[in-house]
Amino acid sequence: MRTGFEKTLLDKITDQPSLQSQIKNWQAEGKKVVFTNGVFDLLHIGHLTYLAKAAELGDKLVIGLNADSSVRRIKGPTRPVNDQNSRAALLAALFFVDAIVVFEEDTPLNLISSLLPDILVKGADYAVENIVGAKEVIANGGEVKTINFVEGYSSTSIIEKIRNQIS
């Protein structure tokens, strides 16, 4: 039997059709839906800061999470360190995250096009015109925003540091 905590976590992890319906309901209630995406392999202070700032931009925060197969294509055969179910559960444990959906593609374009959030967010290392899904969100009346990263934190650098300490 699942505890209340487990149920709450698992309820946040959803599929694209269910999330599309949920977002329409939230928007009908006048809530602003914020969407961001990423790998979130080793959750660190940079991720937490970024996601908290993204959540502050609206009423509901939705995360598109790269599936394991997508991560391997983008980052190589040794990634992700944590599987997609573990990464999704960790993100779901954050009180300011409202929904997580795993996507298989290398980019979230199809996901963003189907969800059409009110606000699309990426890191400030992206120019707005280069953000996947920006055109679609803007064409639907939404906004695209960028958030500065916390310097010195990335999953890749943490993994490298661990590997260097082991060898």
Q: Where are the domains of the chain?
A: 13-166
Q: What tens digit of pLDDT does each residue of 65-82 get?
A: 999 999 999 999 999 999
pLDDT at 104: 97
Q: What angle do CA 122, 96, 52 make, to 5 degrees?
A: 45
> What share of the chain in percent tops pLDDT 70?
90
| Residue 14 predicted with pLDDT over 70 | yes
What is the number of other CB atoms lying within 10 angstroms of the CB of residue 47? Answer: 22
pLDDT band at 144 (very low <50, low <70, confident <90, very high): very high
pLDDT at 10: 80
| Residue 31 predicted with pLDDT over 50 | yes
Arithmetic mean of pLDDT, 5-34? 91
- Assigned fold of 13-166: Rossmann fold (3.40.50)
pLDDT at 1: 47
Higher pLDDT, 66 or 124: 66
In angstroms, rounded to a whole number, what is the distance separating the alpha carbons of residues 151 and 144? 22
In angstroms, rounded to a whole number, what is the distance separating the alpha carbons of residues 89 and 149? 23
| Residue 121 predicted with pLDDT over 80 | yes
